[in-house]
Amino acid sequence: MKHGKRMAKCALALGGLLLASAFAGCGKGNSKLLGAPADVVYGEEPEVSAAISQSAEVFARRFSESAKYFAAEGENFAVSPVSAYMALSLAAECAAGETREEILSALGVSYETLLADFGDFYRSLNVEYRQGKLLLSNSVWINEREQVFDECVNSLAEKYFCYSYMADFTGDNEGANRAVREFVKERTKGLIDKDFNLKKETAFALINTLYLKDVWGEEPLPETAETYEFTAADGSVREEKFLRGEYWVGRAYEGEGFTSFYMRTQNGYRLQFMLPADGYSAEDIFTAENLKAVSEADYGGVDEENKIRYHTRCIFPEFSASFDEDIKNLLREEFGTELLFDEWNCDFTSFVPKLPDSNVYCSEVRHVTQLKVDDKGLEGAAVTVVAAGRATSAPMNDYEDVYIDFVADRSFGFVISDPNDVTLFSGIVRDI
C-alpha cells in the first residue's frame, strides 16, 4: 500500500512465464469460460510476415542470453523465448500509452504489425503429426469482481487466439488457483503441474502455454558401444554411454569460440548444439550474437574444389533442463519494461478501467519450463504467466566420402527450433 490507496497487481503467464496481477474478486472460485477464439485448423500453413518472425527471433536471442544470468546456479536450464514473446504480446494488447510502447519496444514490433500478424504466427506454430505435435494456447484469467472492456476481450480472442475465463481469486483463492493449475497441466500434457499461487488481489492473469513432442525416427536412437567422458561446467568428469545419431550430409559450423551441429526429428524440428572450444565455457559462447550465427549457420557438406562429401553425426548424452523463475528483473534490466512493474504508473486501461484509489500493475512474471531429450526424441513444455527431414544430395560418385563424429562431451549450449526456424527452447546443459 502506498498513500493509503489500494493497488491491484497484475499477473502475466506465458509459455513458462507467469505474470500475476492482483485485484479484488468474488464468487465461488470455479472458473467459467467467458469467451473462446476460433479453433486452430491443424495442418494450415499460413504465410507469416517477416516483420513478426524476425522480431520474435531477435527477442529470442536477447531473452536466451539474459536468462543464463537468472537461472539456478550450476543447473541445466531451458527457456522458451516464443512463449515469453506471446505472453508479452497479450500484455501489449491489454496495455495502453507508454506502457504498451515499452512492451512493444521489448518485442521489437509495432502495434499495427502485432495486431495484423500475430494470428498467422500463432497458427503456424500449432501442428499435429502422426508421432509428434506442437501445441500452444493463450488465455486470460479475470477476477470475478473485475470490470473489463469487451472490446479488448474480443480483440484477444479474434487476434490472439486467447481464451477468457472468470475465476474467484478473492473469495475462493484456492479454487481459482486450482483451476489455473489444472488448465496448465492439461495444456502441457502433465509436464508442468504446479500451483502458481496467484494472490487474492489478482485482477487478471495472462497465460501462454507451449507443449512440444517429437521423435527422432521410427526407432529410438541406439547407445554407443563405448563410454564417453563428459566434462561438466564445474570441471567434474563422468563416463556415460551417449546416444548415436545418424549421419547427415554436412559439416560442423565453426563459430567464434565454439562449433555447432544438429539433430533433426522426424518432423523437422532441429536440436542445434553449441560446443565450446578449448579455453571457453558454455556460458562464454551462449550469447545473442552467437545464437544469431547458429540460426544462420551453413552446415554445407560438399567441398566442390577437392571433390569431398562430408557426413557428420551427433553423439550426445541424454539430458533434461528446466526453469522456474520470476523474470520480472530480466525484463526490467534487459528490455527496459519499467512501467509494466510500476505500481502507480503502469497502464492497463485498454483492458480494465482506471479507478481513483487503485491501479493494476504487474507484480510478477513467472517463466516455467520442463525439457527432456532422450533416445526416443524430445519433449518440452513451457508456461508464461503475466501475475533434425534428412539432408539429401544428388549422387556424386566421383566424390570422396568423409565421415565425422560431432561429440557433445562437455557442457554445451543448445537451441531447439521448428521447421520455420522459430526458437522454441534454448539453454545450457551444465551437467548430465
Domain range list for the chain: 8-216+319-386, 223-318+389-429
- Residue 170 in 3-state DSSP? coil
At position 373, the amino acid (one-letter code) is: V
Dist CA 192 CA 187 (whole Å): 9
pLDDT digits 0-9 by tens, 200-222: 999 999 999 999 999 999 999 99
Does 8-216+319-386 match 223-318+389-429 in CATH topology?
no
Question: Of 285, 136, 271, which is closest to residue 216 (Cα–Cα)?
Answer: 271
Q: What is the pLDDT of residue 41?
A: 63
Please provide residue 326's backbone torsions phi and psi, each rounded to the nearest 5 degrees: -80, 115
* Burial class of 44 by CB neighbour count within 10 A (0 to 12, 13 to 18, 19+): exposed
Instruction: Look at residue 113 in the predicted model and tell me its pLDDT.
Output: 96
Q: Which pLDDT score is estimated for 37? A: 79
pLDDT at residue number 9? 54
pTM of the model: 0.90
Q: How far apart are CA 107 and CA 116, in angstroms?
A: 15
Q: Give residue 30's pLDDT.
A: 64
Per-residue pLDDT, 3 = 35
Residue 42: what pLDDT?
60
Count the neighbouring beta carbons within 10 Å of the beta carbon of residue 409. Answer: 17
Cα 327 from Cα 122, distance rounded (Å): 23
Distance, in Å, from the CA atom of 244 to the CA atom of 357, rounded to the nearest integer, reads 63
What are the pLDDT tens digits along the chain (432 aa)? 333 344 555 444 333 333 333 332 333 336 787 777 777 666 567 788 999 999 999 999 999 999 999 999 999 999 999 999 999 999 999 999 999 999 999 999 999 999 999 999 999 999 999 889 999 999 999 999 888 999 999 999 999 999 999 999 999 999 999 999 999 999 999 999 999 999 999 999 999 999 999 999 999 999 999 999 999 999 999 999 999 999 999 999 999 999 999 999 999 999 999 999 999 999 999 999 999 999 999 999 888 888 999 999 999 999 999 999 999 999 999 999 999 999 889 999 999 988 888 889 998 999 999 999 999 999 999 999 986 211 234 455 688 999 999 999 999 999 999 999 999 999 999 999
Q: With contact defined as beta carbons under 8 Å apart, do 38 and 214 qualify?
A: no
Q: Which residues of 347-365 are buried (b: 16+ CB within 10 A; e: fewer)?
A: bbbbbbeeeeebbbbbbbb
Count how many residues are written for the chain.
432
Q: Say what angle helices 111-125 and 97-107 make with each other, to 10 degrees.
A: 50
What backbone torsions phi and psi does residue 122 show, to the nearest 5 degrees? -60, -50
Instruction: State the cell numbers at 265.
Output: 526429428
Quote the distance between the C-alpha of residue 180 and its chain's center. 19
pLDDT value of residue 11: 43
CA of residue 91 relative to chain centroid, distance: 16
pLDDT, tens digit, for every residue of 399-424? Answer: 899 999 999 999 999 999 999 999 99
At the fourth CATH level, which superfamily is domain 8-216+319-386?
A: Antithrombin, subunit I, domain 2 (3.30.497.10)
The CA distance from 140 to 95, in Å, is: 14
Among the listed residues 174, 216, 165, 213, the one whose alpha carbon sits nearest the alpha carbon of residue 196: 174
CATH T-level topology, domain 223-318+389-429: Alpha-1-antitrypsin; domain 1 (2.30.39)
